[in-house]
A = this chain, B = another copy of it.
Amino acid sequence: MFFASDNTGPVHPQIMDRVIAANADYAMPYGKDPIMDEVRAGIRATFESPDAVVYLVATGTAANALALATYCQPWQTIFCSEVAHIQEDECNAPEFYTGAAKLTVIPTADKMLPDALAAAIEPRQPDDIHSAKRGPVSISQVTERGSVYTLEELRALTAVAKSYDLPVHLDGARFANAMMALGCTPAEMTWKSGVDVVSFGGTKNGCMGVEAVVLFDPKKAWEFELRRKRGAHLFSKHRFLSAQMAGYLQDDLWMKTAKQANDNAAHLTDGLRKAGAEFLHDPHANMIFANFPRAIHHKLHAAGAKYYLWGGSLEGPDDEMVGARMVCDWSISSAQIDEFLSHF
């Protein structure tokens, strides 16, 4: 019963097969491998963007920090939700990679709202030498609380950014989960909605450790390459990153694993709802935040279930409500979910 994160599960066999297949013979290093050509073409087709530039890195933090650095000057500020991964969980990597830019956080319990975003941008006057200057807007889709922006919501945010001429970054660590929840296309969730650069996650959705950074402005290509190398994120045996991403894209595997993960979460959500759990956020994709009695937490822990407590502890009265964060990946079985629910 592994609901701790979508980074604790196994690599999908189709992806592992591509890694194994890539191990035959010799290949040129540093991204010159032929599999990368397949990946580049695949991403461009997927995003309906024939000029997009595509680079692979191994961690989501690298994808975000490098993408943002390519769009942010050191005297600017990034705008993001106060619960964004880049603000809360990257140990100052965005500050480091941007050369010491500021992060300005938009107060919110979950989604960033257009008015709050505008209220944060507006006071940073572009001709005032004292204030940090306006920089990119970063949006997490799926959010850190498991919500998915509708296309309308996304466009309302990018419209605010565009009204100030600011670039937009999409942190898509769970890009696939969001897209499957919306039933839209990759293009609709990115450049057709005003997104300039996207961290297209693979690791949480069946890969071993690979994320694509997709930049819709080809003029940014060389700078991104230099930043990736300088950040020590250029792999010599790059073919093993390429192979993962190639396997991920092949026959739309990434959509299938994401749908499975979302379906798993829906199954779990249903069960929790029937069992009387209180949801802290409306679950849109594959993450669930819910309160239930401490007694049940005790039973789940005793049974070996893995998930994070959310704002509470195991110490206290049995009938008190205690929060849980539960994440489903593609590999969770119905049986696991049912076993989990059986303790309610």
Contacts and interface: CB of A to CB of B under 8 A. Distances in A.
A100 interface: yes
Interface of A: 2, 4-5, 7-11, 16, 19-20, 23-30, 57-62, 65-66, 73-77, 88-93, 95-103, 105, 107, 129-133, 203-204, 208-209, 225-227, 229-237, 240, 306
A230 B93 contact: yes
A266 B73 CA distance: 43
Contacts of A27: 8
B236 A233 contact: no
A130 B59 contact: no
A130 B29 CA distance: 12
A236 B327 CA distance: 15
Contacts of A75: 91-92, 226-227, 229-230
Contacts of A90: 130, 229-230, 232
B59 A133 contact: no
A230 B131 contact: no
A5 B5 CA distance: 38
Contacts of A24: 10
Contacts of A231: 93, 96, 231-232
B2 A26 contact: yes
A9 B306 CA distance: 39
Contacts of A89: 130-131
B209 A93 contact: no
A8 B23 contact: no
A24 B61 CA distance: 25
Contacts of A16: 20, 23
Contacts of A11: 23, 237, 240
Contacts of A240: 11, 208-209
Closest 3 CB pairs of A and B: A62-B232, A7-B236, A95-B100
A74 B88 CA distance: 15
B59 A235 contact: yes
A59 B129 contact: no
A57 B133 CA distance: 22
Given A16-B23, A23-B10, A26-B9, A237 B209 contact: yes
Contact of A10 (B25, B77, B232): B25
A4 B132 CA distance: 22
Contacts of A209: 58, 235-237, 240
A226 B218 CA distance: 27
Given A73-B226, A77-B92, A129-B226, 8 more contacts: A8-B28, A65-B232, A76-B92, A88-B130, A91-B129, A91-B226, A95-B95, A95-B102
A229 B62 contact: no
A4 B28 CA distance: 8
Nearest to A332: B26
A213 to B, nearest CB: 12
